[in-house]
Structure formats: C-alpha cells, structure tokens
C-alpha cells in the first residue's frame, strides 16, 4: 500500500508543477501584451491549442512548448 501512496504523491507533485508552469506561461504571455492569437501566429501553433494549454485541458507536448517559448525569446 505504501508504494501506491508514493505513486499518488509523485503524480500530485507533477500536477502541481504543471499548474505552476502554466500559470507562469500565462503570466509571461500577458506581461508581453500578447493575445493568444498573436502568440499562435508567432509560434505557428493554433490558438485553440494555446487556449487548451492555458485552461489545463491538455498537457502540452515538448515540441509545442519549444515552438511557443522560442517565439517569445
């Protein structure tokens, strides 16, 4: 049973980190005065994907994150 609890704790930590990352991601976009559409245009990622990431509906793929982050420097 202890290993199940450890697994649950690890998953919670990962979810917390993802939430913090997405929160920082949104803050960065807003600090740069970029709309989701502007960010989508500059990163060649569709706006709906950015919206789903920001609304925690999907976990972003690494290549999607790299495209977005590269476009904002």
Domain boundaries, the chain: 2-72
Superfamily of domain 2-72: lambda repressor-like DNA-binding domains (1.10.260.40)
Confidence of residue 45 (pLDDT cuts 50, 70, 90): very high
Query: Angle 37-26-20 (CA atoms, 0-180°, nearest 5)?
Result: 150
pTM of the model: 0.81
Residue-level pLDDT at 73: 85
Q: Work out the pLDDT band at 1, boundaries 50, 70, 90.
A: low
Do residues 34 and 71 make contact, with C-beta atoms less than 8 angstroms apart? Answer: no
Mean pLDDT to the nearest integer, 18-37:
95
- Each residue's pLDDT tens digit, 47-61: 999 999 999 999 889
């Amino acid at each position: 049973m202890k290993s199940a609890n450890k697994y649950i704790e690890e998953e919670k930590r990962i979810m917390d980190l993802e939430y913090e990352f997405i929160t920082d991601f949104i803050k960065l976009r807003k600090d740069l005065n970029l709309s989701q559409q502007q960010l989508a245009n500059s990163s060649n990622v569709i706006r709906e994907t950015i919206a789903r990431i920001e609304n925690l509906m999907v976990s972003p793929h690494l290549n999607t994150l790299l495209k977005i982050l590269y476009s904002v420097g």
